């Protein structure tokens, strides 16, 4: 019994076993409460996430659900040590550990909040403003990079490192790093140019040199296109901006030029009516603006008419449907008028020549022979 009393009265780092037991109990209770609270938060967030409607507390609950177990452990230990009389060095170490853990946990919360908010904005803007989709992705990356840079600097400052000298040193070393990763930095700056200038947005159809496809993703390093044949084309931002880009997503209307050829046997009266017939076929379609139609040239083997009109829509399928109806209307009107469309033909002119032997016989000889 005496030994137990002496053991209980023995002091470790200025605290007896009773005080250490109380501190341990407080730490365990705090940890259990934190884990239970996090579980309740995650359960409620999972329930809200199953509904299509975005609720008011959904974002805060999602951010709070990202609380790490390590932070809860450090917080519980810190609360337990508050009841102890520790040496000044250990007290400072405990406070520093708690401060650093708090910085990283706040950084995790802030990063999750920024990521969730930007993802939500992307989904909302996809239907109304596609230009904002790529911008939000790049801005979100930059904001999260700044958050973690601040967390790292505050952590180093609490560890006693002079961040002023560190920042000055990074300014000098940054030049060497920039030279080493100039291609990556070039793509990063190109992504900022795409974000600010908006030469194209997600969903636009681009033709870049021999490649063509719709923009699927605008990233920090590259832009991804989905080609017509299904494969994904990945192009670096710097290479893309240095090329000649044809953006069909900005097309307001489509200009169409086509030719119609008729045979040489078409009489003058019918030639004079063909331009009006083609114009009538074009103007009979909706969402079309007629521009002109002329007897353009006398070609090898045919008379050619050139017509120009505008489809008041950038949709390629709609243009093809309209052009098909125009062609059918032209063929029908030509059939009624008796106009024949030109097709590849070859004419052979045969002339009967006098035999060479007959040409050499004198006329008198021929007369004698006939006599």
Task: Tokens 């709070």: give the residue.
Answer: 64
Is the Cβ–Cβ distance between 63 and 119 less than 8 Å? no
Q: How far apart are CA 291 and CA 258, in angstroms?
A: 12
Is 262's pLDDT higher than 90? yes
Name the more confident of 23 and 185: 23
The predicted pLDDT at position 180 comes to 52
Q: How far apart are CA 260 and CA 304, in angstroms?
A: 6
- In the CATH hierarchy, which fold is given to the domain comprising 254-337? Alpha-Beta Plaits (3.30.70)
pLDDT band of 318, cuts 50, 70, 90: very high
Tell me if the domain spanning 195-250 has CATH number 3.40.1000.10: no
**Which tokens in the block code for residue 162?**
């002079």
pLDDT winner (highest mean) among 32-46, 105-119, 272-286: 272-286
Q: Radius of gyration of the chain from Cα atoms?
A: 42
pLDDT band of 369, cuts 50, 70, 90: very low
Is 181's pLDDT higher than 70? no
CA 142 to chain CA centroid, nearest Å = 17
Is 175's pLDDT higher than 90? no
Q: Which of 267, 284, 268 is nearest to 330 (CA)?
A: 284
Is the Cβ–Cβ distance between 203 and 131 less than 8 Å? no
Task: Tokens 């900005």: give the residue.
Answer: 250
10 Å CB burial of residue 292 (0-12, 13-18, 19+) is: exposed
CA-CA-CA-CA torsion for 189, 194, 196, 199, nearest 10 degrees? 150
CA distances from 2 to 7, 14, 94, 170, 297 (A): 9, 21, 34, 63, 123
Name the more confident of 14 and 19: 19
Contacts of 303 (CB under 8 A, 6+ apart): 261, 262, 263, 264, 266, 271, 295, 342
pLDDT in tens, 114-170: 888 877 776 666 665 555 565 666 677 778 888 888 888 888 878 777 767 666 666
Q: How far apart are CA 49 and CA 327, in angstroms?
A: 54
What stretch of H or E contains 276?
helix 268-283
Phi, psi of 288 (to 5 degrees): -135, 140
The predicted pLDDT at position 341 comes to 92
Give me the helix-helix angle, 17-49 and 69-81, nearest 10°.
Answer: 150
Contacts of 125 (CB under 8 A, 6+ apart): 132, 133, 136
* Strands lying side by side in the sheet with 288-299: 254-262, 302-311, 288-299
pLDDT band of 177, cuts 50, 70, 90: low
Q: What is the pTM of this model?
A: 0.51
Domain boundaries, given as residue ranges, for the chain: 2-186, 195-250, 254-337
């Amino acid at each position: 019994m005496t030994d137990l009393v002496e053991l209980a009265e023995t002091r470790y780092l200025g605290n007896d076993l009773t005080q250490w037991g109380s501190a341990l109990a407080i730490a365990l209770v705090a940890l259990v409460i934190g884990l239970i609270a996090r579980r309740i938060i995650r359960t409620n967030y999972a329930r809200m996430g199953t509904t299509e409607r975005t609720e008011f507390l959904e974002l805060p609950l999602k951010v709070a659900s990202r609380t790490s177990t390590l932070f809860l452990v450090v917080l519980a230990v810190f609360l337990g040590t508050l009841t102890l009389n520790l040496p000044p060095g250990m007290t400072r170490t405990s406070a520093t550990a708690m401060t650093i853990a708090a910085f990283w946990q706040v950084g995790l919360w802030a990063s999750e909040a920024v990521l969730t908010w930007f993802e939500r904005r992307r989904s909302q803007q996809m239907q109304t403003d596609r230009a904002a989709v790529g911008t939000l992705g790049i801005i979100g990356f930059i904001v999260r990079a700044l958050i973690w840079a601040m967390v790292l600097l505050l952590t180093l400052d609490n560890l006693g490192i002079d961040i002023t000298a560190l920042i000055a040193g990074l300014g000098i070393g940054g030049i060497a790093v920039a030279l080493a990763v100039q291609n990556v930095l070039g793509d990063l700056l190109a992504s900022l140019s795409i974000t600010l200038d908006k030469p194209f947005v997600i969903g636009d159809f681009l033709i870049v040199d021999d490649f063509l496809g719709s923009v699927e993703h605008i990233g920090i390093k590259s832009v991804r296109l989905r080609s017509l044949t299904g494969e994904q084309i990945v192009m670096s931002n710097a290479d893309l901006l240095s090329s000649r880009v044809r953006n069909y997503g900005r097309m307001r209307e489509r200009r169409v030029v086509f030719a119609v050829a008729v045979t040489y046997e078409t009489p003058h009266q019918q030639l004079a009516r063909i331009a009006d017939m083609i114009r009538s076929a074009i103007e009979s379609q909706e969402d079309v603006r007629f521009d002109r139609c002329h007897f353009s040239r006398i070609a090898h083997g045919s008379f050619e008419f050139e017509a120009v009109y505008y489809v008041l829509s950038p949709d390629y399928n709609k243009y093809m449907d309209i052009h098909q109806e125009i062609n059918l209307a032209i063929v029908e009107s030509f059939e009624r008028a008796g106009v024949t469309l030109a097709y590849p033909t070859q004419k052979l002119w045969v002339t009967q020549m006098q035999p060479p032997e007959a040409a050499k016989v004198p006329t008198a000889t021929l007369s004698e022979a006939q006599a």
